Structure 1
Amino acid sequence: MIFSRKRADAGRHTRDERATEVLDEGGAAAALVRGPYDISEVDDEVQRLDLGSLHIPAVAEVEVRVQADPQGVIQQVVLVHGDNALQLGVFAAPRSEGIWDEVREEIRQSLLRDGASAQEVDGEYGTELHAQVRTPDGPTNLRFVGVDGPRWMVRGVFQGPAATDSASSGPLAECLEGLVVDRGQEAKPVREPLPLRLPREMADQVEDASSEPRQV
């Protein structure tokens, strides 16, 4: 079952690599770090959709689409704004180092084996992977972004105009920058997807829909 909610409310990638320079109140340069953030780093009043391991900020006109099973376990999360889409995934990583460099190379090799084009490009979050794949609707551009955090990695895949022009990412980039990861303390194998679940009220809707008798 696919559940959709439209939000109408407003190398190795470390924190230093994700910092941009701004001016503080005294006019001195200061580092502004953009997310995704670890839940231990966040103490704000931003409204976010709690999907378990991922907390997605409410950004105007961004639709959150999740595909979940009857138990409310999420298999896929896609954010949509206009012609652009951003698919999100979050995975366990070791405490000592990030895994995006290795994961990115595996994705690149897999794309090349399938006959797609793929090249590494320096982007806002470090090294990205830009690819063009063949689909029934014709060639489709994809932009893979990876962010290593403390014991987790977020992977985002942009589609649409944002796949070739990061400046057109707009609200989807805002969602990525405001994303919060709740890794939890449980030990998990490296690269295992972190658990994602529907909020209780959404899960109840899914359960009710699956229990309704079907007409034949």
Structure 2
Amino acid sequence: MAFGKRKNDDQGAETSTGSHAAAEVPATDDGDLDGPFDIEDFDDAETALVGRHDLGAVLIPENEAAELAVEVNQQGVPTMAWMVTSNGRYNVTAYAAPKAGGLWREVVTEVADSLRKEGAEVAIQDGPWGREVVGHMTNGPEPVVMRFVGVDGYRWMVRGAAVGSPENAEAIARDLRSALSDTVVRRGDTPQPVRNMLPLQLSESLVARLRARAEQMMAEQARQAGQQLAPPSPAEPAARRSEQGTAMQQLRTITGG
């Protein structure tokens, strides 16, 4: 846990989501959740790295019940990091915000409107830090519940998103809130336009861990594929090249390398 914590006491007072208010549901109680924190809350910044994944602008707590999965674009640049659990998946991202705060107050309404346009049934729920946006999507192959939680800090806003099935919606919401409560934001001093997503960067140690895990997964997949393959045929070399290409694509997806 963090040292030199400060509470975000101004989040719970928000009671309005603007002119397009969504349906409201009762508040939830996840106990005393102090974070997220600013890196400046630590006397020693290195302390913030203990027990957390270093993703550049955000340090999110490790979770023994979750796997870290990183999305990359066509250039191999990391764009999103998900924590995948048996309950679903969640992520935490940070954005540049005004010193006065209040950005999440604006974003709540925009997120709710966007979900409605996608056909979701939207509700606003009072959570530990204020308003949370919950969208129930039933127009896809399987019903999905999405939850968005935001917290305003000094010159930053952190947003958490959770996705899960209806039966696991509350469990993945708890996973997300637990992660947010111990997340550290590394805003930096560089001027950023308001609402700019702060860059996602993987530390060298994290990349090495992800590569090792990816190689282990590929070795296991190759072993399983070898058990299922028939005796070699003339087409076998091409099949191997195809499998190797797929594996390398998976490696790039996981590590950004």
Matched residue type, 1:61? A
Task: Give deviations 1:81-138, integer Å, cap 9, x for gaps.
Answer: 2123212221110112220011111111112222221121111121111111245322
Secondary structure of 2:152's aligned partner? strand
Q: In structure 2, which of residues 103, 121, 129 is the aligned counterpart of residue 99 of structure 1?
A: 103
**Matched residue, 1:122:** 126
**Matched residue, 1:76:** 80
Q: In structure 2, which of residues 142, 145, 158 is the aligned counterpart of residue 141 of structure 1?
A: 145
State yes or no: 1:40 paired with 2:40: yes
In 2, the alpha carbon distance for the partners of 1:164 and 1:137 equals 17
In structure 2, relative to structure 1, the CA distance for the partners of 1:168 and 1:75 (3 Å cut) is closer
In 1, the alpha carbon distance for the partners of 2:167 and 2:85 equals 10
**Matched residue, 2:251:** none
In 1, the alpha carbon distance for the partners of 2:104 and 2:74 equals 32
**Matched residue, 2:193:** 189
Gapped regions of structure 2 (runs ≥ 5): 1-6, 13-31, 215-239, 243-257
In structure 2, relative to structure 1, the CA distance for the partners of 1:176 and 1:79 (3 Å cut) is same
State yes or no: 1:157 paired with 2:157: no
TM-superposed CA distance for 1:48, in Å, is 1.4
In 1, the alpha carbon distance for the partners of 2:80 and 2:174 equals 22
Gapped regions of structure 1 (runs ≥ 5): 1-13, 20-31
Matched residue type, 2:39? I
Larger fraction in helix? 2
Please say if residues 84 and 169 of structure 1, whose CA atoms lie closer than 8 Å, have aligned partners that are also in contact.
no
Note the aligned Cα RMSD (angstroms): 2.9
Task: Give deviations 1:32-78, integer Å, cap 9, x for gaps.
Answer: 66111111013446321111101112232222211134766321111
- Higher-Rg member (1/2): 2
TM-score, normalised to structure 1, is: 0.73
Q: In structure 1, which of residues 46, 49, 52 is the aligned counterpart of residue 56 of structure 2?
A: 52
State yes or no: 1:132 paired with 2:125: no
What is the aligned length? Answer: 184
